[in-house]
Amino acid sequence: DFGFKEDPSLNKCIRDDESEADPNKIPTTCVSGGYYNRTKGYRKVPGDTCTDGNDFLYEPERKLCPVEDGAEFILVAELHRISRLDLNSETPELMEIPLLNVHNVVALDYHYANHCLYWQDTNEEKIYRHCTHPDKSNEVIAESNMKSVEGLVLDWVSNNIYFSDRERSVIEMLKTDSTVGQLRRTILNSTYIEKPRGIALHPLKGYLFIADWSQTKPSVSRSYLDGSHFEILFDSSFVTWPNGVTVDLTADKIYWTDAKKDYIASADLDGKNIKYIISDTKLVPHPFAVVVYKDWIYYDDWNKEAIVMANKHDGSGMNTLTATSGRAMDMKVFASGLQKGSGPCSGPLNGNCTHFCVPYPDGSHVCLCPDWSIKTKLSNGSEICSCPDGNFMLPNGTCIDNGTSIACKNDEFKCSNNKCIPKTKMCDGANDCGDYSDEGRQCDSTCDSGKFQCKNGHCIHSTFVCDFDDDCGDMSDEQNCNYPNCTANQFKCRDGRCIRAEYVCDFDDDCHDGSDEANCT
């Protein structure tokens, strides 16, 4: 293609530095929120067809057009799609962002400066990132061991992502800029939370806020960004079904919704000076997510199936902006002046931490390690990270086995370029290594030990077989299964899986097929 040339030694097309053509240039016809095709250096010969081949290795990549500078908008997770609502439009409506393979999105966030969208797909048990920068492609930044992620928030100052998993009763921290593998750290577990849903943070103040839907002890709580100094701000005497929680970064206040008591309220960051902004069953019959921008709150309501705005001080000026396609889930608001500021973990130095840098409210910070590493605790609360076998750990989470070569972890595949990727990404049709070595000849053979070979040829972990999820993509991993019988304290879903009885008719699709929310009154 234009801007490329053939390299006979590599038998592939590479960039032609002498060419004046720029294949990565974004087309002038690119409309914000739309798509364009970026070449990989190849053009199909007119009239030729490819059957059961590797044409995906050569076809153009679909890229999102960049968001224009100064835009003010809300992103909405609508399960089967992610939509954008422009706040300056005279006729506001939800416009679908044309992302591929979106199945069940509940939580999302966006990095305004980097034009990167983050979301979690519950069906896939993965967290995705899609950046509109021409050199970036759609990628999986975390996968596996995610059962029911319902909250996700980006710390744009420290480049960490936080997500809540309701079914596992945990909140984890994830590094966004790890070049190899995924770096994860559990910061809160069932000792503190039971059914975490919405989460929000104040990166400049160093606080994390959690809405917990616990059946016995619901709460809105606060902790430091490493999970320490956990405290309950509002217990069951104030909340019953706390859904969304957000931070007003300009006024240093939190806002949250309660879908059982039917109100939207605000308070100071320490829980003082609580104020009920809207408290009327007719006005907020089932509020879910809430965001704040300037003098307004914006929230989605499941009963109204709409996005509504109102004055953030007293709830006046209420106005329905647009209808949603069913029950909308998470919402986040974005503008050029919101994600501003810096802290001790800002910039390439990362607070001189090797892995996680976490700011504290007093302006200090701690350095933390990923879960699986060996941790040596220092007197200031920071940690020194090392590999389980004693080898030196690199900042990207990999280990050096002899001082020069990379030693990937047992559950990782070593690419030809020495990059380590999860073995689950092998032979999935995506160029995860960057040199296609994860999509090579080994994909034509049988699966490795401990893997299950799907009928379509894909390899998945054997633990994914008969887990009620279509991990293969052709349902071959869910055939001829002997599923266990549900106990007296469990509810049997339509697909056969068992969930806790108290999860029935709680407005959550715990079964992932809607059967636990059918016939509810």
CATH code of residue 452:
4.10.400.10
- Out of 324-333, 379-388, 471-480, least confident range: 471-480
Query: Are residues 260 and 371 part of one domain?
Result: no
Report pLDDT for 445. 53
Report pLDDT for 395. 67
Which of residues 40, 65, 90 is at a domain's end? 65
Distances (CA, A) of 148 to 91, 246, 329, 416: 35, 20, 13, 35
Query: Are residues 271 and 414 part of one domain?
Result: no
Beta strands in 316-466 (DSSP E): 319-323, 331-334, 356-359, 365-368, 374-377, 383-386, 392-393, 399-400, 406-407, 412-414, 420-422, 451-453, 459-461
* Rounded-to-integer distance, Cα 406 and Cα 217, Å: 47
Report pLDDT for 240. 96
Report pLDDT for 163. 97
Query: Are residues 188 and 282 part of one domain?
Result: yes
pLDDT, tens digit, 9 for 90 and up, residues 109-125? 999 988 899 999 888 88
More confident residue, 507 or 148: 148
Q: Is residue 230 part of a domain?
A: yes
Query: Are residues 321 and 279 part of one domain?
Result: yes
**Quick check: 496 pLDDT over 50?**
yes
**Quick check: 136 pLDDT over 70?**
no
The total number of structural domains in the chain stands at 6
More confident residue, 521 or 134: 521
Query: Are residues 373 and 299 part of one domain?
Result: no
Using a 10 angstrom Cβ sphere, with 0-12 exposed, 13-18 middle and 19 or more buried, the burial of residue 314 is exposed
Q: Is residue 478 part of a domain?
A: yes
Q: Is residue 362 part of a domain?
A: yes
- Out of 136-140, 204-208, 421-425, least confident range: 136-140
Q: Is residue 315 part of a domain?
A: yes
Report pLDDT for 134. 47
**Quick check: 461 pLDDT over 80?**
no
Among 128-132, 155-159, 420-424, 433-437, name the most confident range.
155-159
pLDDT, tens digit, 9 for 90 and up, residues 220-279? 999 999 999 999 999 999 999 999 999 999 999 999 999 999 999 999 999 999 999 999
- Out of 72-86, 270-284, 420-434, least confident range: 420-434
Query: Are residues 503 and 464 part of one domain?
Result: no
Report pLDDT for 143. 82
Report pLDDT for 70. 72
Mean pLDDT over each residue of the chain, to the nearest integer: 86
pLDDT tier for residue 71 given thresholds of 50, 70 and 90:
confident
Residues in contact with 6: Cβ distance below 8 Å, sequence separation at least 6, in sequence order = 12, 13, 14
* Rounded-to-integer distance, Cα 22 and Cα 8, Å: 22
Which of residues 280, 307, 334 is at a domain's end? 334
In this structure, what token pair is assigned to residue 373?
Answer: 């590493």
Residues linked to residue 385 through DSSP beta bridges, in sequence order:
375
DSSP secondary structure letters along 80-102: S-EEEEETT-SS---EE---SS-
**Quick check: 417 pLDDT over 70?**
no
Q: Is residue 358 part of a domain?
A: yes
Report pLDDT for 440. 65
The pLDDT of 345-358, averaged and rounded, is 91
**Quick check: 379 pLDDT over 80?**
yes
Query: Are residues 108 and 241 part of one domain?
Result: yes
The pLDDT of 361-365, averaged and rounded, is 95
More confident residue, 210 or 38: 210
Distances (CA, A) of 366 to 162, 290, 345, 379, 501: 16, 31, 9, 11, 41
Which residue bears the tokens 């979301």? 119
Report pLDDT for 174. 94
Query: Are residues 441 and 452 part of one domain?
Result: no
Query: Are residues 376 and 255 part of one domain?
Result: no
pLDDT, tens digit, 9 for 90 and up, residues 177-191? 765 457 899 999 999
* Rounded-to-integer distance, Cα 15 and Cα 258, Å: 55
Q: Is residue 472 part of a domain?
A: yes
Q: Is residue 339 part of a domain?
A: no
* Rounded-to-integer distance, Cα 208 and Cα 225, Å: 6
Query: Are residues 275 and 172 part of one domain?
Result: yes
Beta strands in 394-492 (DSSP E): 399-400, 406-407, 412-414, 420-422, 451-453, 459-461, 490-492
**Quick check: 137 pLDDT over 60?**
no
Report pLDDT for 178. 60
More confident residue, 176 or 67: 176
- Out of 306-310, 353-357, 370-374, 413-417, least confident range: 413-417
pLDDT tier for residue 14 given thresholds of 50, 70 and 90:
confident
Cβ atoms of 366 and 354 closer than 8 Å = no
Over pLDDT 70: what percentage of the chain? Answer: 87
Query: Are residues 312 and 174 part of one domain?
Result: yes
Closest CA to 204 of 250, 241, 165: 250
The pLDDT of 336-357, averaged and rounded, is 91
Cβ atoms of 373 and 386 closer than 8 Å = yes
Q: Is residue 340 part of a domain?
A: no
- Domain with 359 in it: 350-396
Query: Are residues 372 and 458 part of one domain?
Result: no
Model confidence, pTM: 0.73
The pLDDT of 8-13, averaged and rounded, is 83
More confident residue, 413 or 94: 94
Among 118-122, 330-334, 474-478, name the most confident range.
330-334
Sheet with 306-311: strands ordered across: 287-293, 296-301, 306-311, 319-323
More confident residue, 511 or 448: 511
**Quick check: 13 pLDDT over 70?**
yes
